[in-house]
């Protein structure tokens, strides 16, 4: 028979086998958390100067498995152990597409109608195209602008935006080099990077349990073991362990969830949408309307109080102020008992489910898992949900066996031997290497503006604010009043120049359309941006420097934050030569420093290898391996500490003896009532001394009860993107093919998805795959409709961070949803962002609207665009379309 004859096998290719290994293999950390830590470790094979492949790094490449001393946790016959390979996120494995992206900036650019000797045309930022200039011209322009601004207004007239996430590098870390240079020249005004995924804990929970870790529970050592051994259930309250974790270390949280399933630990998801964790791990999904979690939490407390279902002894010895909260919850204060029926009207959860949930939680031992957050913790008044979460845990014996708040895999993992600091800003490193990152961690500039208040600072100075908003600022700082500008005698001045290496305000922060307006203000005379890709705020710049990616530098990275299987330090040997004329962020600022006579001071005359060695020494790696051996192996992986199981879990010491192990609060207890808030802000109804439900206030009117809801009847929620880290990685053609990344419109453009429930779609006549507009008073964002059951009715869900593509005034085709998020911050005295849980409508687009946009801005529709990867460098460069 023919088949047999052909099927004879052994039909090996006749030609020579191809070379699959390539010329060299280098190591990379391709997570996108950045700062001074790594994660997402990959091995990159390189051939003929091109990236051949990116694959998960195997820790046992050059070390014995036994030497790594793998740990083990067991429950009910299930076992969790680390693997000997890293689990990089899918976009890390696709990173070659970012390095070779068609959106890469290939050479320095100047805005075509920005003339420092003549007309600067600030009103054309975001509209005009760019022309190619040389590095020499670009750095001359920047140096002369710095000198001019310094002379005319003083050093503090330059605003640095040098903060946030990015690629994992150390010497060439993506942010803050310009601040280090300007600090050598008299100072700068700093955009202080506020929390952008944990606002509610930062502005709320800190007033209950003290500083914590960015406002979240701390200490949190050894919590994985304690939850795994003692909890009956884990709540994923607005948490997506299959998304947010990806950006920082990879996919380990996924394995923890599967282990918990095997171990019989129930996983309950409380969120408006079937997020990617709920999609595969949820034993129970409780859909809650965006930013109404505080109502649900209050109703749970109501049931516990009414039925006596809480740990009264613990409350008596470990907390202060429950009686005041109880008076509010039971309706003694305002005649409104916070019953399940009351809450149900607001949060959309049926009263019977709320009661059942409350009793279930009281009966079982539970922890609450997060990995930063989306809808739950980033909305208007998010500090109330943040504080109420602490109260829920407090009423059930926080710190006891199996009762924790846990940033899943981010902290609380088995301890490694020899790692000095597992935090994201690695204090073990030398000051020289840490200074650039300080702009992300602290308010260290002489004049400060919280990131959420930049628009106001430019458009409506002076401004005042409470607390600098720096990630590591203590809760006490929230009672300090700041002004911008500071006093003239101290060098205070309004800003007139902006230097950003963080060009993502439009798409990542509050009210992006207002950012555009602020950048066009005539007081802003010069905007410099440096970045690898021509996107977002780059389009508002006057001078643009091309920066290279992780693949193109020689560096070293400390993969010491937890969530990797084995922590390590890896040498990043250059994989490929820089694309185009790009330089690293450090090198780009060094080029400017040369023009300002600051080269020696800035470089400290240290070579890259000197700095690599400085990292090796400051990490005390010499105790384990010689520098020569390290260079040869390219990495050192830390073994698990022998005695890791003895580490005290979480707040256990406080749980056992609160008098001798007080919390860092004024009373040393969990402050359900905050005397400090009462004293400093007696008239603040948006963040009162006890946590409350705030229907509306002077800062926000974004509830379904608002009059505005007649026009905008849906609550918009925004998470971290599945396929991006904030604004990073929106251009990978492979991720953009997935049904949750983009929706291909009939016009061939790939739109950002908006999830809506079939009931809402039907009301509006919207079909899956259709191009629709998300609207409110602040503008219009175009999206592709994803009509499905993964989201509850009443909600429009769009992830933030898609690339800005303006086609008309306040109209974004790229799906940058934060362009229309509220300007208002968390609340009156809390300058967090509030970019989820606000009113919009989703509507069909009329043909005449398309016609009007095309007429208003034909160039926007003619820009070069590649459907696979999206926006294209050439689209904004003069002559680029030819």
Of 341-370, binders to another protein (CB under 8 A) are 341, 350-353, 355-357, 359-360, 363
Residues near another protein (CB under 8 A), total: 72
Query: Could you tell me if 164 and 440 are in contact, meaning their C-beta atoms sit under 8 angstroms apart?
Result: yes
527 three-class SS: strand
Shortest Å distance, C-beta 213 to another protein? 25
Q: Does residue 788 bind another protein (CB under 8 A)?
A: yes
DSSP 386-429: HHHHHHHHHHTTTTSTT--EEETTTS-SPPBTT----STT-TTS
Nearer to another protein, 306 or 324 (CB): 306
Give the Cα separation of 114 and 392 in Å (integer): 56
| H helix or E strand, kind and range, residue 653 | helix 652-656
Nearer to another protein, 278 or 820 (CB): 278
Q: Does residue 251 bind another protein (CB under 8 A)?
A: yes
Binding another protein by CB under 8 A: which of 30, 68, 87, 553? 87
Exposed, middle or buried, 747 (CB in 10 Å: 0-12/13-18/19+)? exposed
Shortest Å distance, C-beta 54 to another protein? 6
Give the Cα separation of 471 and 671 in Å (integer): 21
Give the Cα separation of 758 and 793 in Å (integer): 8
- State the binding string over 264-303 for another protein (x if CB under 8 A, else -): ----------x-x-xxx-x-xxxx----------------
Pairing mode of beta strands 189-192, 158-161: parallel
Q: How far is CA 654 from CA 310, 406, 676, in A?
A: 18, 16, 22
Alpha helices in 26-112 (DSSP H): 90-93, 96-99
| Residue 12, C-beta contacts closer than 8 angstroms, at least 6 positions apart | none
Find the binding residues for another protein in span 305-344 (CB under 8 A): 340-341
Nearer to another protein, 356 or 709 (CB): 356
Give the Cα separation of 234 and 744 in Å (integer): 37
Q: Tell me which stretch binds another protein (CB under 8 A): 254-262, 312-320, 384-392, 502-510.
A: 254-262
Q: Does residue 15 bind another protein (CB under 8 A)?
A: yes
Exposed, middle or buried, 417 (CB in 10 Å: 0-12/13-18/19+)? middle
Find the binding residues for another protein in span 507-536 (CB under 8 A): none
Nearer to another protein, 85 or 854 (CB): 85
Nearer to another protein, 85 or 676 (CB): 85
Shortest Å distance, C-beta 556 to another protein? 25
Binding another protein by CB under 8 A: which of 46, 94, 569, 670? 94
Give the Cα separation of 373 and 718 in Å (integer): 10
| Residue 128, C-beta contacts closer than 8 angstroms, at least 6 positions apart | 111, 112, 113, 114, 121
Binding another protein by CB under 8 A: which of 2, 48, 746, 882? 2
Binding another protein by CB under 8 A: which of 662, 668, 793, 880? 793
Find the binding residues for another protein in span 851-870 (CB under 8 A): 868
Q: Does residue 739 bind another protein (CB under 8 A)?
A: yes
Shortest Å distance, C-beta 256 to another protein? 11
Q: Which of 551, 637, 532, 559 is nearest to 45 (CA)?
A: 551
Find the binding residues for another protein in span 203-242 (CB under 8 A): 242
Q: How far is CA 608 from CA 435, 546, 571, 611, in A?
A: 17, 20, 11, 5
Chain position carrying tokens 């701390």: 218
Shortest Å distance, C-beta 749 to another protein? 14
Q: What is the CA radius of gyration of the chain?
A: 27
Shortest Å distance, C-beta 709 to another protein? 21
Q: Does residue 737 bind another protein (CB under 8 A)?
A: yes
Q: Which of 724, 722, 723, 742 is nearest to 866 (CA)?
A: 742
| Residue 84, C-beta contacts closer than 8 angstroms, at least 6 positions apart | 58, 59, 60, 65, 68, 70, 565, 566
Nearer to another protein, 252 or 519 (CB): 252
Nearer to another protein, 658 or 870 (CB): 870
Nearer to another protein, 609 or 789 (CB): 789
Shortest Å distance, C-beta 129 to another protein? 27
Q: Tell me which stretch binds another protein (CB under 8 A): 48-56, 548-556, 643-651, 713-721.
A: 48-56
Q: Does residue 792 bind another protein (CB under 8 A)?
A: yes
126 three-class SS: coil
Chain position carrying tokens 């994201």: 424
Q: Does residue 848 bind another protein (CB under 8 A)?
A: no
Q: Does residue 769 bind another protein (CB under 8 A)?
A: no
Shortest Å distance, C-beta 803 to another protein? 18
Quickly count helices (H) and strands (E) in the chain.
29, 37
Q: How many CB atoms lie within 10 A of CB 603?
A: 16
Q: Does residue 757 bind another protein (CB under 8 A)?
A: yes
Q: Tell me which stretch binds another protein (CB under 8 A): 3-11, 150-158, 626-634, 687-695.
A: 3-11
Q: Does residue 48 bind another protein (CB under 8 A)?
A: no
Q: Does residue 550 bind another protein (CB under 8 A)?
A: no
Q: Does residue 53 bind another protein (CB under 8 A)?
A: yes
Binding another protein by CB under 8 A: which of 32, 52, 714, 877? 52
Alpha helices in 88-164 (DSSP H): 90-93, 96-99, 135-153
Q: Does residue 734 bind another protein (CB under 8 A)?
A: yes
Shortest Å distance, C-beta 128 to another protein? 32
Q: Does residue 18 bind another protein (CB under 8 A)?
A: yes
Shortest Å distance, C-beta 202 to another protein? 30
């Amino acid at each position: 028979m023919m088949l047999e004859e052909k099927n004879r096998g052994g039909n090996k290719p006749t030609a020579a086998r191809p070379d699959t290994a390539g010329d060299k293999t280098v190591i990379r950390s391709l997570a996108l958390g950045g700062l001074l830590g790594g994660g997402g470790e990959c091995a990159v094979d390189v051939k003929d100067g091109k990236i051949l492949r990116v694959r998960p790094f195997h820790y046992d490449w050059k070390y014995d498995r036994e030497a790594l001393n793998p740990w083990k946790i067991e429950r009910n016959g299930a076992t969790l152990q680390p693997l000997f390979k890293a689990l990089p996120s899918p976009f890390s494995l696709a990173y070659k597409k970012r390095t070779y992206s068609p959106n890469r900036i290939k050479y320095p650019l100047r805005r075509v109608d920005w003339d420092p000797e003549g007309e600067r045309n600030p009103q054309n930022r975001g509209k005009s195209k760019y022309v190619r200039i040389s590095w020499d011209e670009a750095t001359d322009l920047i140096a002369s602008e710095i000198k001019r601004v310094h002379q005319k207004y003083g050093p503090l007239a330059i605003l640095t935006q040098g903060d946030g996430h990015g690629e994992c590098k150390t010497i060439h870390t993506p942010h803050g080099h310009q601040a280090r240079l300007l600090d050598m020249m008299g100072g700068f005004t700093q955009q202080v990077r506020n929390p952008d995924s944990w606002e509610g804990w930062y502005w709320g929970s800190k007033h209950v349990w003290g500083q914590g870790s960015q406002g979240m529970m701390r200490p949190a050592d050894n919590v994985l073991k304690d939850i795994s051994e003692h909890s009956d259930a884990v709540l994923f309250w607005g948490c997506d362990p299959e998304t947010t974790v990806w950006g920082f270390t990879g996919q380990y949280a996924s394995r923890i969830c599967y282990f918990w399933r095997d171990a019989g630990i129930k996983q309950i998801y409380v969120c408006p949408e079937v997020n990617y964790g709920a999609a595969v791990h949820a034993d129970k999904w409780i859909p809650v309307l965006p930013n109404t979690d505080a109502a649900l939490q209050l109703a749970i407390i109501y049931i516990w109080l009414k039925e006596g279902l809480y740990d009264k002894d613990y409350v008596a010895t470990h907390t202060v102020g429950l009686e005041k909260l109880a008076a509010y919850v039971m309706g003694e204060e305002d005649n409104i008992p916070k019953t399940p029926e009351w809450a149900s009207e607001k949060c959309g959860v049926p009263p019977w489910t709320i009661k059942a949930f409350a009793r279930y939680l009281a009966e079982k031992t539970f922890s609450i898992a997060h990995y930063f957050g989306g809808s739950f913790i980033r909305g208007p008044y998010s500090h109330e949900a943040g504080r109420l979460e602490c109260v829920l845990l407090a009423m059930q014996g926080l710190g006891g066996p199996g009762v924790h708040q846990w940033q899943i895999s981010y902290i609380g993992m088995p301890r490694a031997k020899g790692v000095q600091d597992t935090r994201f800003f690695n204090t073990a490193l030398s000051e020289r290497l840490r200074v650039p990152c300080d702009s992300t961690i602290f308010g260290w500039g002489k004049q400060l503006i919280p990131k959420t208040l930049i628009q106001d600072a430019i458009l409506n100075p002076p401004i005042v604010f409470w607390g600098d908003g720096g990630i590591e600022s203590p809760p006490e700082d929230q009672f300090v009043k700041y002004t911008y500008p500071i006093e003239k005698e101290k060098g205070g001045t309004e800003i007139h120049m902006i230097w950003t290496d963080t060009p993502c305000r439009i798409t990542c922060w509050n009210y992006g359309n207002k950012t555009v307006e602020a950048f066009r203000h005539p007081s802003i005379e010069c905007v410099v941006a440096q970045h690898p890709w021509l996107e977002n705020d780059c389009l508002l710049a006057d001078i643009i420097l091309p920066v290279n990616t992780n693949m193109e530098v020689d560096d070293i990275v400390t993969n010491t934050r937890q969530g990797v299987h084995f922590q390590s330090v890896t040498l990043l040997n250059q994989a490929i030569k820089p694309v185009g004329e790009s330089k690293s962020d450090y090198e780009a600022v060094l080029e400017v420093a040369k023009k300002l006579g600051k080269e020696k001071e800035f470089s400290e005359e240290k070579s890259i290898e000197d700095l690599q060695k400085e990292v090796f020494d400051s990490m005390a790696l010499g105790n384990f391996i010689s520098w020569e051996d390290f260079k040869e192996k390219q990495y050192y992986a830390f073994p698990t500490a022998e005695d890791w199981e003895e580490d005290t879990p979480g707040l256990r010491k406080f749980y056992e003896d609160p008098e001798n192990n007080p919390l860092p609060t004024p009373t040393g207890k969990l402050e359900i009532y905050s005397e400090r808030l009462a004293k400093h802000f007696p008239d603040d109804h948006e963040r009162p001394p006890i946590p409350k439900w705030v229907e509306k206030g002077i800062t926000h009117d974004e509830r379904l009860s608002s009059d505005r809801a007649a026009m905008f009847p849906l609550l918009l929620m925004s998470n971290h993107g599945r396929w991006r880290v904030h604004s990073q990685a929106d251009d990978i053609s492979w991720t953009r093919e997935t049904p949750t990344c983009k929706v291909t419109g009939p016009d061939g453009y790939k739109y950002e998805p908006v999830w809506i429930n079939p009931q809402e779609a039907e009301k509006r006549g919207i079909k899956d795959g259709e191009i629709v507009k998300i609207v409110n008073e602040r503008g219009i964002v175009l999206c592709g409709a994803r009509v499905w059951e993964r989201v509850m009715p009443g909600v429009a869900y769009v992830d933030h961070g898609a690339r800005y593509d303006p086609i008309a005034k306040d109209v974004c085709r790229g799906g940058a949803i934060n362009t229309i998020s509220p300007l208002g911050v968390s609340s009156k005295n809390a300058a967090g962002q509030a970019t989820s849980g606000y009113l919009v409508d989703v509507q069909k687009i009329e043909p005449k609207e398309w016609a009007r946009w095309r007429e208003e801005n034909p160039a926007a529709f003619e820009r070069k665009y590649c459907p696979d990867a999206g926006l294209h460098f050439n689209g904004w460069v003069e002559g680029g379309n030819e």
